[in-house]
A = this chain, B = another copy of it.
Amino acid sequence: MSQKPDERPWDDLIELIDAKQPEGIIAAIDAIPEREIALILSRLDDEDRNWLLTLLDPSDAAGLLEDISDEQAAHILSELSPDDAGRILDELPQDQAVDVLSELDEADAEDILQSMPPESADSARELLNYPKDTAGHLMITEVLYYRDSLSIGDVNQDLQKKQDLYRSYHIQYIYVIDANHCLVGVMRIHDLLFSSKSSLLRDVMIGNPISVNGNATLDEISDAFAQHSLLALPVVDDAGILLGIVLPVAVEEAKRKRTVKHFLWLSGIVGGEEFRSMPLYKRSGRRLSWLTLNIALNIIAASVIALYQETLAAAIALAVFLPMVSDMSGCSGNQAVAVSLRELALGLLRPGEILRVAYKESTLGLINGVLLGILLGIVAYLWKGNIFLSLVIGVALAGNTLVAVTVGGMLPLLLKRLKIDPALVSSPLLTTVTDMCGFFLVLSLASTVLPRISV
């Protein structure tokens, strides 16, 4: 799978596209490894890409979009006419189509839905009505269900008749419904092999099947899968009517996307994925929006230094250590933030357990603070040979590490209780606190022993 940078399996395709030459396009696409599709689509300019996608059969075009991320697919479809986009979207697996639609502006999504066959559009709208990461949003409505009054023979006959249609379904179970379309039972597909043809579903089915409500959250669905070893989980509405099924892979994927989002937030990429194929103004603008918040926080923190200018001027060596103390404590604190975020995600920590975290982190913060403080104190002594300077730096780093680790551990829990997503703001807030506290500790300690460290 590893490819040298000079091998370019897509050269043929690019040539055909440049020449706007339809013949041979399909063969050229087939020659490209799946993993390169996203890369190529991202490198074509809008005109070339639109030409290619409208030239292809909608199902072939959908095949290309299946291999790329939802954000990228949404971006690509938004550049097409709603009619073309609708035709392609209609060929995508339903859950992916909904994922892509939910990445678009609402107006763009509605334009595309208008152009789709009414039954596809309606069933997509039904899923879009549910908030992201709920069962209703993650489910697929392509599900096999039969009335409880039918026989095993009836079901086998129907399965055989519609083989081709069902081939694309994820058939693990058939679901059994009553006259009101309410879910009343389930059968594993291969149990159909072993039941007599004349048995009625209601007699051989497993009754009271496990199901989740359309509004169930990702964590609730995940729990249900963990608790009952199932290959699919039926989704019902408040009245018990069968709406669709959620597959384990959709749950894992949604959980992975949530982790990716937190990963990006932690690095200051907010508002969704950024691709370098996006327009420069958009990339620059989104990054700036987060940076300007940060600059404001930085100004607040640095203002502490302004208060102690005389101290600093009198002992200029301190200036070397100011950024070190604040940076190091920031690193220590971010470790504690990460552990709290993970423990919250894994259910190992309740948002109310702030005191427990404070205790666990302050003991660790004290140990690591003292050790790091001794280390940096020794460095300071080796450099300047001044024991007071060395003490100021060491004690400040120890104290600031204790504060940073304790606050860092608690901050995600506090934010969670305030209903703010802790992955988004824990890190910038923590940095501000540890910067201010670090500057204050170094400079205020120094001012108490000032004459002795003015070397």
Contacts and interface: CB of A to CB of B under 8 A. Distances in A.
Interface of A: 1, 3-5, 33-36, 38-39, 42, 66-69, 72, 156, 159-160, 163, 166, 168, 170-172, 189-190, 192-194, 217, 219-220, 223, 226-227, 229, 231, 248-249, 252-253, 255-256, 259-260, 262-264, 266-269, 273-277, 280, 283-284, 287-288, 290-292, 294-295, 298-299, 301-303, 305-306, 309, 312-313, 316-317, 319-324, 326-328, 331-332, 334-335, 337-339, 342-343, 346-353, 356-357, 360, 363-364, 367-368, 371-372, 375-376, 379, 383, 431, 435, 439
Given A323-B435, A371-B288, A364 B334 contact: no
8 nearest A-B residue pairs (beta carbon) = A5-B352, A267-B338, A252-B252, A256-B256, A313-B316, A34-B227, A248-B249, A305-B320
Given A256-B256, A323-B323, A287 B332 contact: yes
B192 A193 contact: yes
B302 A223 contact: no
A46 to B, nearest CB: 17
A350 B262 contact: no
Contacts of A323: 298, 301-302, 305, 322-323, 326, 435, 439
Contacts of A66: 226
Main secondary structure of the interface of A (DSSP, over half): helix
Contact of A349 (B4, B39, B312): B39
Contact of A39 (B69, B350, B360): B350
Contacts of A375: 292, 295
Given A219-B1, A252-B249, A346 B193 contact: no
B298 A231 contact: no
A194 B367 contact: no
Nearest to A375: B295
Of A68, A267, A290, A363, chain B has the most CB atoms within 10 Å of the CB of A267
Given A34-B227, A287-B368, A298-B324, A360 B276 contact: yes
Contacts of A435: 323, 327
15 contacts: A35-B219, A68-B346, A160-B193, A163-B194, A252-B253, A252-B256, A259-B263, A266-B266, A288-B371, A292-B372, A294-B327, A295-B328, A295-B375, A309-B320, A323-B326
Given A328-B298, A368-B284, A1 B263 contact: no
B269 A335 contact: yes
Which of A156, A262, A263, A353 counts the most chain B CB atoms within 10 A?
A: A263
Contact of A331 (B189, B294, B305): B294
B338 A268 contact: yes
A42 B367 contact: no
Contacts of A301: 323
A243 B379 CA distance: 57
A337 to B, nearest CB: 6
B35 A347 contact: yes
Contacts of A288: 368, 371-372
Nearest to A167: B188
